[in-house]
Structure 1
Amino acid sequence: MKKASVILSSALVLGTLLAGCGNNNNNTNNAAATATTAPAAEATTAPAANAGTETAKYADGTYYGTVDADPETGWQTFALLTVEGGKITAADWDGFNVKNAGDLKKKVSADGKYGLVAKGGAQAEWHEQAAKAEAFLVEKQDPAAITVDTEGHTDAVSGVSVHVNDFVAAAQAALAAGPVEAGPYKDGGYHAEGAEFDANNGFKSTVDLSIVNGNIVAAKFSGVNAAGDDKKQYSVDGKYGMKAGGASAEWHEEIALAEKYFLDNKGAAPKMDAEGKTDAISGVSINVGEYFTLAEKALEGAK
């Protein structure tokens, strides 16, 4: 009986040990499953955290984007971004004026003609503040990092009190559009004018052009008289009086069509007759030949 009891006890102990080993194997398998899942999750999320430094975020090239022009001032914001090695290495926040053409906003500011400090009491001129926002974008690599309030201002960039929402929108539009090719001209504002005042109307013809990323983006065909009046504004104010003389449109309305043709055709001139008139631009009956000649002269300085 004692021998039988010993055998039975040994069997029970052995069964218990085997059951324990079975439970340990299950726990080991579960732990192994957890271990193989966790690194997979880490491998998925880690690159995203380092995307700005380890992974090329953008295709190399030049990016260009704009927003709508301000209807009152005529200034149209643009962003010109350079990407090298997948990163934004340079940012240019500037603007051109669709009403007056000519010099870009940074130069107008640098020349003291924008007057942000003198006229608006700002802490720094516009071009100086723009440079800070540009540097911030290059550092952060994402326009969205420049957070703006409902009025378009930001607290993210120290020393910047001007509206930055247009810069953010233009930079985002540029990156969304992808790399673009530059045009054949040097960026900036260009001017040309006639040699003398017209004996009939008293105005000397003038042309002003704005070029961004090598392309003509704004053109103003106008004129100036001895009193310094701008011909386009003179017409807008009803002082030129073409309609009163029987024309179907005022001078500023017709010259605007010539400007549009010039921009749409990248500076190319239409076929003209001996008087400088053309049938190629619908709605234009005035002499526009001199303006296309002056525009060509202005572009000589941009080559």
Structure 2
Amino acid sequence: MKKLLSTLLACLVVAGSLSACKRTTPEPEPSSSAPEEPPVVSSIYQDGAYSVKYSVPAGDSTLDYLTISVLDDEITVQDYGFEPYENPDASEPADESEAAVQPEPSSSSEPEGEDTEPVDYAAEIKSAYRAADGDLDTIEPVEGAEEHSYRFVRMMRTALESAKEGNTSTVTIGTRFLDGNYEGRMESANRDGWQEFVTLTVSGGEITEIIYNASGEEDSSKLITEDSELNAQADGPADYYPAIAQSCLDNGGDFSKVTAPTNGGAATKTFGKLMRALTAQMTSGGERKIAVSRLADGLYTARFADFDENGWKEYVVLKIKNGKVTVDEFDAISEKDDAARRSADTALSDRMREATGLSYSDAVSALVNNWEKAENDVTQVDNVAGATVSSNSFKLLVGQLLATAAVEGNAEVPIEVERLPEDAEE
């Protein structure tokens, strides 16, 4: 009996020991399949209202102002516009009852004798901002209010910098231009193989130095002002290139007031294109080194000088904006009725569709699509199968337009182009 009791006691001791071991075993780690906590997203901007204004007047004697609000990184334009500039040095005080001034629309685009509503440029600029989805680098400047468009971009950049720091104090911009070194270069060489460029320095908000020259297309170290052949006589590039730059400096950086020196008419026009593009950068605080298109903004028309054997005269209308060329229209006028268009001739389209599988309108749509793929290079436009003659006519008209009127900025009068011999008709 005693032996049995001893055995039972020994078993109880062992069981207690095992139980104690189980109680000290660490809890198992949670399964790796358990959902993780979502990462905490930090805000770029601090909530609040941020205001920026100009103390230096724009070219139309108005001052720009802007207020934005930020909530959870959502940016809203609360208040934006221009107000009359009250010159403290003026002999007569400004009329305080006068409404806020907007830049006047260009008179050249309005019919004489008709009353027109003034353009709300502030609303147009805000629309451009929304169209760019808030991307300050892609905002299209509003025609007629380019300077205010550039100022808007700079004020937005400034307001957003304040929002990063949470600084809600109003920031006053006291200079027209942003200090720095800027360079603008034509994106391609001219017909004579020279690529014009402007470098300038802005200090204290003012342009302090301008260098205008042109480098060789094949040898960029070769400058037009140092070319011995071109400068063999007086009034060569060595004279008029520096004269153009000096004239701009003498006029406070206003390139529109530059007087073209002897033999420097074409160089003065190119200088204006470069300076217009650079002004956008200097005012808005964008890139410091840019390529500039040779093409001037506008709506241009080119047409053939005569009718073809079937009584049609093709024409093309191009819209150029910031160097981008869009085909606005490509069609043909009837010799019998100048109001009739080839695209509206259903009988002709039916015959063309039977012969080639596509109508005239189909061919035009395909041509426009090929143009967009060619990125402004008419030599890269593919012909449309079944519309070879129309394709060649399109390329000839576009090529002549881009080589002449669009470079010169002459959008007033359509240019006339001589036909090339045609091998076949569609």
Give the TM-score taking structure 2 as reference length.
0.32
Task: Answer 1 or 2: higher relative contact order, Cα 8 Å, separation at least 6.
Answer: 1
Q: Which has the larger share of strand? A: 2
Q: Which has the larger share of helix? A: 1
